[in-house]
Amino acid sequence: MLKLSLGPTDLLIIAVYFAFVIGIGVALKRSMKKSSDFLLSGHGIPSWIAGLAFLSANLGAQEVIGMAASGAKYGMITAHFYWTGAIPAMIFVGLFMMPFYYGSKARSVPEYLKLRFDEKTRTFNAGSFAVMTIFSSGISMYAMAKLMNALLGWNFHACIWASATIVLAYIFLGGLTSAIYNEVLQFFLIVMGFAPLVFLGLKDCGGWSGLMQRLGLVSASHGFGPNAWSSSWRGLGAPSHNPMGVEWFGMAMGLGFVLAFGYWCTDFLVVQRAMAAENQTAARRVPLIAAVPKMFFPFLVVLPGMIAIALTYKAGQSSFALPIRPDGTYDYDATIPLMLQHYFPTGILGLGLTALMASFMSGMAGNVTAFNTVWTYDIYQTHVAPGKSDSHYLWMGRWATVFGTLVSIAAAYVAAHFNNIMDLLQLVFAFVNAPLFATFLLGMFWKRTTGHGAFSGLLLGTTAAAVHHGLTAPDVPIAAMSAFKGGWLGHVLHVYPSEMAQNFWTAIFAWSTCFVFTIAISALTRRTKTDDELRGLVYSLTERPQDEHLPWWKRPMWLAVIIAAGALALNLYFA
Amino acid sequence: MRFDLRLPLGLLFLIFGAILVIQSFISPVADQAKSLGLDMNLRWGCVLLAFGGGALALALRARNRK
């Protein structure tokens, strides 16, 4: 494993950063007077800040390291996670869903489900979401400690406890506002830390044309067409034409529709950032503002992977190459750490490493703040101690942060000891999340949807995901096969060319099942909410948001048009 | 009272920029071999200084307007 040696300057940069992170929490402490200040930022965050936080909360280090790894493994197709798998969904949540989230005065996504449907649907969502956030933050912590231990030789346990203490400190002091402010800092740090890496990598390749020429070699050596690594759509005609093993329909429908909309439109972790905005129009702008940098993120996180694999096949000016693992495959996950080590001298190395740490912490903090809100409002206030004073819930919010962080630490240790349990949990949550967007879509746009319909649709959708996963398998060597990869029902009906293709289709099955059964069961059950009760919660019963008095560049619709045009242009240019 | 986020943001990047620029004068020239012969600490340090200065200037301008 590669090792980084840090100079005093690098350590100084890391120390300055941590001082600022805690400083922001300290400076915000005085303004935390009500539970809504702490858990919802008192609905007072400007949209550009909330927008960057919206983006950053999703930008954990697994994403940074994972996207670079995918860039090396699959090439430009990875950019679909942005251009197809994020931008359309971000436009949709901003234009069409935010008016209901914000306008309904719900304090969380599960609370919207309670207002729109009933208590059981809310509790189902709140419970699964709370567990998911704890484990996600635990996985982040574990991954960070493991990486720092490997790269710098720092003690694994010390890394876990130190990162948890820092995140806990700034959230405990300044609540969601502190998390959001820090996420913005982290956003700029990630951009400023990785941009020079891309610059140097490209220079090493001899510029863009040198990169493309090398990627042609990579494609040819795998037996694909010349553009397999350097284009996003051209190889998607059939699964066998691209390294990801997916075809255009699975990509557009599975990733672009079900998974992307399921995540960006219903996951409270990101939606919470938009709900913290100062008014409804600002809240609608949040995902749209986030979409602008999101469009260009492939150049920051996917491109390094493409550069790394290109240089591995044909060396550039320096001798960068990806290491080979004992099983003969490339160690794709090493892309970012290895490039930091290879290209950055002391000084800027500290900056790059700080960016990596920042991305771990933003992922962790995002989960902890989403957890304390859902715990306090949707679980504690609803089921444990209703009717208490606001100061009591502020107290609970603070202690939920401590409790959530401690359980995350436990989750990190579980991850360290039982890797398979984490795979299983990830899988279960994919099952729970995939159908959720069908529930929201019907709930927001069809007033006839009933609570029973929504709840049973969700359960059946989740079951459909599990059954589909149990009856299919990816085309992987027998040695790499386990129940977590599918086929655990004992009979494999279909073999997908890759795990990715299997995931996309599991999501499509789950969503469709939930959609069909929610409609069917709603039609068979009686409405329990009157039109009056559904005002502000359902499209046909809600007044359209008015924003004609704003200049055009502040109107969500115009922003959406510009972003859609930009995303389309990128898709076409890099097709 | 909440504060203008551009203040700490500008300050942080000014400090980072300054550290990188100072490091570029301390580092032996041989260190630049890593970054393809470019003095990345100096170049990127200046970019960070400009970015930090810009954010700080915007924050101060907003404060003066108030």
More confidently predicted of A61 and A520: A520
pLDDT on residue A420: 67
pLDDT in tens, A124-167: 999 989 998 998 888 888 888 988 998 899 999 999 999 999 99
Query: How much is the average pLDDT of A493-512?
Result: 89
Residues of A in contact with B16 (CB under 8 A): 13, 16, 192, 351
Contact A200 B16 (CB under 8 A): no
Question: Stretch A549-556: mean pLDDT, rounded?
Answer: 87
**Whole-angstrom distance, CA of residue A494 vs CA of residue A488:** 13
Q: How far is A214 from chain B (nearest CA, A)?
A: 19
Segment B60-65 mean pLDDT = 89
Contact call for residues A506 and A430 (beta carbons, < 8 A): yes
CB-based contact, A526 to chain B, within 8 Å: no
Which range is least confidently modeled, A60-64, A148-152, A252-256, A270-274? A60-64
Instruction: Give the pLDDT score at A351.
Output: 96
Question: What is the least distance, in Å, from the CA of B25 to any CA of chain A?
Answer: 11
Chain A to chain B Cβ contacts (< 8 Å): 89
When scoring A38, A183, A351 by the number of chain B Cβ atoms within 10 A, the one with the most, hence best to mutate, is A351
Residue A1 in this model has a pLDDT that exceeds 80: no
Other CB atoms closer than 10 Å to residue A480's CB: what's the count? Answer: 10
Query: Is any Cβ of chain B less than 8 angstroms from the Cβ of A185?
Result: yes
Task: Find, among A432, A491, A482, A502, the residue nearest to A462 by Cα.
Answer: A432
Of A348, A351, A357, which to mutate for an interface test with B (greatest number of B Cβ within 10 Å)? Answer: A348
Q: What confidence score (pLDDT) does residue B37 get?
A: 87
Helix (H) or strand (E) holding A494: strand A494-496
Confidence grade of residue A408 (pLDDT, cut at 50, 70, 90): very high
Is the domain defined by A8-24+46-417+544-573 classed in CATH 1.20.1730.10? yes
Q: Using 50, 70 and 90 to split pLDDT, how confident is the model at A429?
A: confident
User: Among A13, A24, A318, whose Cβ lies nearest the Cβ of B16?
Assistant: A13
How many Cβ atoms from other residues are within 10 Å of residue A299's Cβ? Answer: 17
The overall longest dimension of chain A from CA atoms, in Å, is 71
* CB proximity B34 to A under 8 Å: yes
Question: Is the minimum CB–CB distance between A20 and chain B shorter than 8 Å?
Answer: yes
Q: Helix crossing, A419-433 with A451-471: angle to 10°? A: 130
Q: What is the ipTM of this complex?
A: 0.95
Chain A residue numbers with beta carbons less than 8 Å from the beta carbon of B53 are: none
Q: Which residues of B touch A317 (CB under 8 A)?
A: 36
Q: What's the rounded mean pLDDT across residues A113-118?
A: 93
Question: A346 vs B19: CB contact, 8 Å cut-off?
Answer: no
- Please tell me the least confidently modeled range out of A89-93, A283-287, A406-410, B61-65: B61-65
CB contacts of A204 in chain B (<8 Å) are: 36
Q: Does B9 touch chain A (CB under 8 A)?
A: yes
What is the pLDDT at residue A432?
81
Report yes or no: A110 and A120 within 8 Å, Cβ to Cβ.
no
Domain ranges of chain A: 8-24+46-417+544-573, 420-543
Distance of CA A374 to the CA centre of its chain: 18
3-state secondary structure of A45: strand
- A30 contacts on B by Cβ (under 8 Å): 1
- Stretch A350-358: mean pLDDT: 92
Distance from CA of B20 to the nearest CA of A (A): 6
Contact B50/A at CB under 8 A: no
Q: Give the per-residue pLDDT at A419.
A: 65
Average pLDDT over residues A403-428: 81
Instruction: Measure the CA–CA gap between B61 and B56, rounded to whole angstroms.
Output: 9
Quote the percentage of chain B above a pLDDT of 90.
Answer: 68
Say yes or no to pLDDT of A553 above 70: yes
**Residue percentage of chain A with pLDDT more than 70:** 99
| Mean pLDDT of the region A271-285 | 92
Q: pLDDT of A315-348, one tens digit each?
A: 888 888 898 888 888 888 889 999 999 999 999 9
3-state secondary structure of A496: strand
> What are the residue boundaries of the structural domains of chain B, listed by start?
6-65
pTM over 0.90: yes
Indicate if the alpha-carbon torsion angle A400, A406, A412, A417 is positive or negative. Answer: negative
The pLDDT tens digits of the residues spanning A230-269 come to: 998 988 888 888 888 888 998 898 888 988 998 899 999 9
Say whether A473 sits in a helix, a strand or coil. Answer: strand
Q: Which chain B residue's Cα is nearest to A180? A: B5
Minimal Cα distance from B8: which residue of A? A20
Q: What is the pLDDT of residue B21?
A: 96
| Nearest one of A414, A404, A460, A365 to A130, comparing CA atoms | A404
Q: Is A105 left (phi over 0), alpha (psi -120 to 50) or beta?
A: left
B15/A44 CB distance under 8 A: no
User: Is residue A440 predicted with pLDDT exceeding 70?
Assistant: yes
Residue of B1, B2, B39 to mutate, testing the A interface (most A Cβ within 10 Å of its Cβ):
B2
A346 touches B at CB < 8 Å: yes
Facing residue for A188 by CB, picked from B9, B15, B32:
B9
Cα(B9)–Cα(B3) distance, integer angstroms:
11
Q: Which of B23, B26, B27 to mutate to probe the A interface, most A CBs <10 Å?
A: B23
pLDDT winner (highest mean) among A413-417, A431-435, B15-19: B15-19
pLDDT at residue B33 in the model: 84
Look over chain A and give the mean of its residue pLDDT values, rounded to a whole number: 90
Distances (CA, A) of A264 to A88, A256, A385, A387, B18: 10, 11, 31, 32, 38
Q: What's the average model confidence in pLDDT over A477-488?
A: 78
Average pLDDT value for residue range A369-386 = 94
A317 reaches B (C-beta below 8 A): yes
Q: Which two tokens stand for residue A557?
A: 């619709």
**Residues 6 or more apart from A53 whose CB is under 8 A from it?**
A45, A179, A180, A181, A183, A184, A187, A273, A276
With 70 as the cut, is the pLDDT of residue A211 above it?
yes
- Residue A294 pLDDT > 50: yes
Q: pLDDT for B9-36, tens place per residue? A: 999 999 999 999 999 999 888 888 888 9
What are B28's two structure tokens? 């032996």
**Closest partner residue to B35 among A177, A343, A351, by Cβ?**
A343
- Per-residue pLDDT band for A421 (boundaries 50, 70, 90) equals low
* Residue B62 touches chain A, beta carbons under 8 Å: no
Q: What pLDDT does residue B1 have?
A: 47
| Beta carbons of B36 and A346 less than 8 Å apart | no
